[in-house]
Amino acid sequence: MVRIGIIGCGSITRNRHAPEYSANPQAVIAGYYDRNRDRAEQLADSYGGKIYDSVEELLRSGDIDAVSVCTSNATHAAITIQALESGKHVLCEKPMAVTLEECAGMAEASERTGKYLMIAHNQRLTYSHAKAKEILQSGEMGRILSFSTVLAHPGPEHYSAAQGKHTWYLKQAHASLGAMGDLGIHKADLIRWLTGEEFTEVSSFSATRDKTDENGELAEVNDNAVCLLRSESGIIGTLAVSYSNYGDWDSRTVIYCANGVLICGGNPDSSVELVRRNNERILYKPEASPGGQARINSRVIDTFVDCIVNRKPPEISGREGMAAMKMVMGCLESARTGSAVRI
């Protein structure tokens, strides 16, 4: 049984980490820490476990084997490194940190201590993207030529624990990277994984177009970005993110291949759609659970627990997280300087 401590009890813990650990038969939530003790108490009431008065107290506990770091972006690195050096395995929410130096420090701490570090990049764990990866690896679609990937929704003030315009997601000191860090990191990791290639050059525009803070001033971080990416073999494509999509959430990824097109998220009747050169269409629907319902578990927690139980290093390691962060940071630098950036 893996005994879990959760650091940070906001919306991602409430909606994902806590219920998914609770549902995993090989894990038990042993403790929580949050600066807002009420949030920790609410989770303890629902799932059991002890409330700690500080990060340090939780990490000193011999009753905890691993932790989820679910705090604001700017605190990820320090807490993760401290946890690894305390002998705990770590699942860190994305983006893993706010500088590449911090990312490197986290990866090095994992390697130095021998403790696992997994980054919560959930996109590559969904059925649709796993199926897309399987199809691309089979070779049936031919070589990848280009792509388009987008993640756009109404903004974090609608889902953060402190709902409203004062949310930390829109504060430079806490979030730092804006929509590119919150949403772009998902798609950067996904497109690296789907193509199986590193990206070597980026060009980007980013802006704060609509989000305002509690004082009516434009938010301190970007709320929209459009990026052009080039891979090591010459695949080119676009990555776009937005906090100002006030319609349905948009999370499409389209891969243009020599033998046709692969679409994830574009058809409400399927998870993956193939369109061949002869216009033949093939639809793949998600697998169902034994009860007949499509599985909505993120698979992040189950994957992390399985790595610990079976003593296998996580695929979505600190080095993997850092590679995606290089893409995000390159895009932000390009937007700042107005020039293409080699990464």
Per-residue pLDDT reduced to its tens digit, 196-254: 999 999 999 999 999 998 888 998 999 999 999 999 999 999 999 999 999 989 999 99
Q: Tell me the average pLDDT of the chain.
A: 93
| The pLDDT of residue 174 is above 90 | no
Separation CA 221–CA 180 (nearest Å): 9
| The pLDDT of residue 286 is above 80 | no
| The pLDDT of residue 336 is above 50 | yes
Averaged pLDDT for residues 114-131: 95
DSSP designation for 156: G
Which residues are paired to 92 by β-bridges?
Answer: 69, 119
Residue 266 has a pLDDT of 65
Q: Binning pLDDT at 50, 70 and 90, where does residue 268 land? A: low
User: Residue 103: how many CB atoms within 10 A of its CB?
Assistant: 25
Residue 291 has a pLDDT of 36
**134 dihedral zone (left: phi>0; alpha: psi -120 to 50; beta):** alpha
The CB-side HSE value for 94 (13 A sphere, CA atoms) comes to 29
| The pLDDT of residue 77 is above 60 | yes
* Torsion over CA: 220, 180, 20, 119 (sign): negative
Do residues 241 and 184 touch, judged by C-beta distance below 8 A? yes
Cα angle vertex 135, ends 142, 123, to 5°? 120
Separation CA 232–CA 42 (nearest Å): 48
Task: Give the C-alpha distances (Å, rounded to integers) separating 199 from 161, 236, 324.
Answer: 34, 9, 9
- Which one, of 300, 124, 327, lies nearest residue 225 by Cα? 327
Residue 293 has a pLDDT of 37
Do residues 141 and 262 touch, judged by C-beta distance below 8 A? yes
Separation CA 46–CA 43 (nearest Å): 5
DSSP designation for 218: B
Helices (H) and strands (E) in the chain, counts: 11, 15
Averaged pLDDT for residues 305-324: 98
Helix (H) or strand (E) holding 33: strand 27-33
Q: Binning pLDDT at 50, 70 and 90, where does residue 267 land? A: low
Q: What are phi and psi of 205, to 5 degrees?
A: -115, 140
| The pLDDT of residue 164 is above 80 | no
Averaged pLDDT for residues 152-170: 82
